[in-house]
């Protein structure tokens, strides 16, 4: 049995939608948005897994045409209410038939949304990104890092002196333990990736983890040229930096043209 419905259910939860609403840009995002500004300013931009619109708040002003999608109706409904007149669709990265081939100059899939999918669906998603992106266009996304030293954990009860605070901690701990017990069966280690029920959202997500070298290989297999990797703190690691301290990594890749070369942008 797959776990797609579990991750999807988590992202439909009203509380989570609210939680994602006012988060700021991450440092890595600021770094690559400054560096690659010519790739999206006044261009056609697709923002995948937009959530409650964290990146929409910025990208919609800079793009010529800005479109955002998310497979959670809760997220897209919220995003549409928040940004009047926005082109925001409830749509899954695995099937973006709503869009033409090569419709976009720049595609973003921020904050690890791609990691909600199991391996075959991830490849399906990458192929769809490739299809809707122009030759020479840029794809930036983040993914959990299998080399991160703390990627596996078990729920731990925290302590507080204040009884009310302690009560809240116990309640949360119980929820963490319940989710962990339910979701750990989906964990597996493959040669090139791991599926891990990590601590995010009280252990309610099942997440794809891959190391930097393998992710670069996976991109090349789908005719993208990996260009750069950023760690969580916004350092550019080139393609081979030490990344054990970074729970996820941002990848910048260019879509190769028909002849296997990066078209002149």
Does 219 bind ligand SAM (CB under 6 A)? Our answer is: no
Does 23 bind ligand SAM (CB under 6 A)? Our answer is: yes
CA nearest 251: which of 93, 105, 145, 101?
Answer: 145
Residue 26 neighbours by CB under 8 Å, 6+ apart: 111, 232, 234
CB 188 within 8 A of CB 197: no
- Measure CA 124 to chain center: 15
End-to-end CA distance of the chain: 43
Does 56 bind ligand SAM (CB under 6 A)? Our answer is: no
Does 31 bind ligand SAM (CB under 6 A)? Our answer is: no
Determine which residue in the list 3, 6, 20, 143 makes contact with ligand SAM, applying CB under 6 A. 20
Closer by beta carbon to ligand SAM, 98 or else 157: 98
CB 157 within 8 A of CB 173: yes
Provide the pairing of β-strand 207-210 with 133-145.
Answer: parallel
Which residue matches tokens 């703390």?
Answer: 150
Does 215 bind ligand SAM (CB under 6 A)? Our answer is: no
Say how far apart CA 146 and CA 89 lie, in whole Å.
31
Determine which residue in the list 33, 51, 230, 254 makes contact with ligand SAM, applying CB under 6 A. 51
Determine which residue in the list 60, 103, 106, 113 makes contact with ligand SAM, applying CB under 6 A. 113
CB 250 within 8 A of CB 157: no
Site for ligand SAM, residues 64 to 93, rule: CB under 6 A: 69-72, 75, 92-93
Taking the complex as a whole, the smallest distance from the CB of residue 9 to ligand SAM amounts, in Å, to 10
Does 218 bind ligand SAM (CB under 6 A)? Our answer is: no
Does 144 bind ligand SAM (CB under 6 A)? Our answer is: no
CB 232 within 8 A of CB 243: no
Taking the complex as a whole, the smallest distance from the CB of residue 264 to ligand SAM amounts, in Å, to 30
With CB under 6 A, what is the number of residues at the site for ligand SAM?
Answer: 23
Closer by beta carbon to ligand SAM, 51 or else 137: 51
Taking the complex as a whole, the smallest distance from the CB of residue 200 to ligand SAM amounts, in Å, to 8
Taking the complex as a whole, the smallest distance from the CB of residue 68 to ligand SAM amounts, in Å, to 9
Does 226 bind ligand SAM (CB under 6 A)? Our answer is: no
Q: Is 22 exposed, middle or buried (0-12, 13-18, 19+ CB in 10 A)?
A: exposed
Q: Percentage helix, strand, coil, to 5, in the chain?
A: 40, 25, 40
Positions in the binding site for ligand SAM (CB under 6 A): 11, 20, 23, 48-51, 54-55, 69-72, 75, 92-94, 110-113, 116-117
């Amino acid at each position: 049995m797959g776990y797609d419905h579990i991750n999807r259910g988590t992202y439909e939860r009203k509380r989570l939608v609210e939680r994602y609403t006012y988060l700021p840009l991450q440092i890595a995002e600021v770094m690559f948005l400054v560096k690659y500004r010519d790739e999206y300013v006044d261009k056609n931009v697709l923002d995948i897994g937009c959530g409650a619109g964290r990146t929409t708040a910025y990208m919609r002003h800079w793009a010529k045409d800005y479109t955002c999608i998310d497979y959670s109706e809760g997220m897209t409904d919220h995003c549409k209410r928040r940004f009047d007149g926005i082109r925001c669709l409830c749509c899954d990265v695995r099937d973006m038939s709503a869009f033409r081939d090569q419709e976009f100059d720049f595609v973003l899939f921020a904050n690890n949304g791609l990691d909600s999918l199991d391996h075959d669906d991830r490849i399906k998603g990458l192929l769809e990104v490739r299809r809707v992106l122009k030759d020479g266009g840029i794809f930036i996304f983040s993914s959990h890092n299998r080399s991160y030293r703390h990627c596996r954990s078990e729920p731990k009860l925290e302590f507080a002196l204040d009884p009310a605070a302690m009560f809240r901690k116990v309640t949360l701990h119980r929820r963490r333990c319940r989710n962990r017990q339910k979701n750990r069966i989906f964990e597996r280690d493959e040669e090139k990736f791991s599926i891990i029920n990590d601590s995010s959202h009280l252990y309610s997500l099942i997440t794809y983890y891959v190391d930097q070298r393998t992710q670069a290989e996976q991109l090349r297999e789908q005719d993208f040229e990996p260009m750069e990797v950023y760690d969580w703190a916004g350092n550019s690691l080139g393609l081979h930096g030490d990344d054990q301290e970074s729970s996820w990594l941002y990848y910048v890749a260019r879509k190769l043209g028909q002849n296997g070369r990066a078209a002149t942008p």
